[in-house]
Structure 1
Amino acid sequence: MDLPILVTIKPWLNFFHPLLMWVLLGLSIYAMYLGVQIRRTREAEGDTKKELIKGKFNIKHHQIGSLLLALMVLGTLGGMAVTYINNGKLFVGPHLLAGLGMTGMIAVSASLTPYMQKGANWARVSHISLNTVILGLFGWQAVTGVEIVQKLISKM
């Protein structure tokens, strides 16, 4: 199926996924900062706690986390779709498998929210651990993704 519009934008589709993922990497780092601020707020006392509460870090963290979850799932599916559209197949390798793993982990991490809201420390530890692994994999994905983009550019 070679629609004229698809033929026109097909080469540029390769760059949507990498750009989105770099934005998500930055948002992930910001979400981590907000999470640290939530922990500081929870552990603070007196005037310090009152001042930290004004930052509304918990609301911002939930909003950024929701955005990350949605865009990670859509970005993963989109990256796979573009690969298939351009090549007629998926390349099953470390980059794809790590990306799928990260997508599953972020879903599990987000699903822990109700337990954390009820004060379950195991859920907080699990949430933090999963997100730390995700952030580490994200850094590795960024490097391997740049290598893939460089291969695509060299073929243009």
Structure 2
Amino acid sequence: MDIAIPASVKTWSQFGHPVLMWALLGFAVYSLYLGLQIRRTRTVEDKDVRKELIKKDFRNRHYQLGSILLAFMVIGTIGGMAVTYINNGKLFVGPHLLVGLAMTGLIAISAALVPFMQKGNEAARVTHILLNVALLGLFGWQAVSGMDIVQRIISKL
């Protein structure tokens, strides 16, 4: 079964993945900030400062944003691969694709650590932090390599 997709949809669909990923990169940086504030709340010794930090609800905001990041990273990864396949009839197996798939795995593992962290497991907490710092570094690299791909797409229009 061959589905005819209008040329304009095929052309403009190529820009959905980069726009989504740049937005997610911004959300990931904000999530890092929230995570650091949770750590600060947990370790601050002044009770009054701690009460003020608790009122800001960093934990719930970080958890909710992390859930959104997980969902949209999976959607963005699958969507990017689907659009590439639809437009080219194949995937280009290279560093951008492989790192993107690895990032999707890292964020899934990071999210899977949350139940252990909620039970006070410090090793899970440290692993969560390390995975997410690595993820953020890879995300920055992906943003740069992705813009090279976008420039190649634009040059072919």
Q: Normalising by the residue count of structure 2, what TM-score does the alignment of the two structures yield?
A: 0.96
**Match of 1:144?**
145
Q: Name structure 1 gaps, 5 residues minimum.
A: none
> Which residue number corresponds to residue 27 of structure 1?
27
Task: Give the alignment of 1:1-156 within 5 angstroms.
Answer: 1=2, 3=4, 6-45=6-45, 46-156=47-157
1:27 and 1:91 map into 2 onto residues whose CA distance is 27
- The offset of 1:2, in angstroms, is 5.0
Paired residues, number: 155
- In structure 2, stretches of 5+ residues that fail to align are none
Give SS of 1:91's match. Answer: coil
Distance, in Å, in 2 between the alignment partners of 1:51 and 1:107 is 32
Describe the SS at the equivalent of 1:101: helix
Identity of aligned residues (%): 64
Deviations 1:46-105 (A, max 9, x none): 100000001100000000000000000000000000000000000000000000000000
Partner letter of residue 8 of structure 1? S
Q: Report the Cα distance in structure 2 between the residues aligned to 1:155 and 1:79, rounded to whole angstroms.
A: 18
Normalising by structure 1, we get a TM-score of: 0.97
Q: Distance in 2 between matches of 1:87 and 1:54?
A: 51
Separation in 2 of the partners of 1:110 and 1:130? 10
RMSD: 0.9
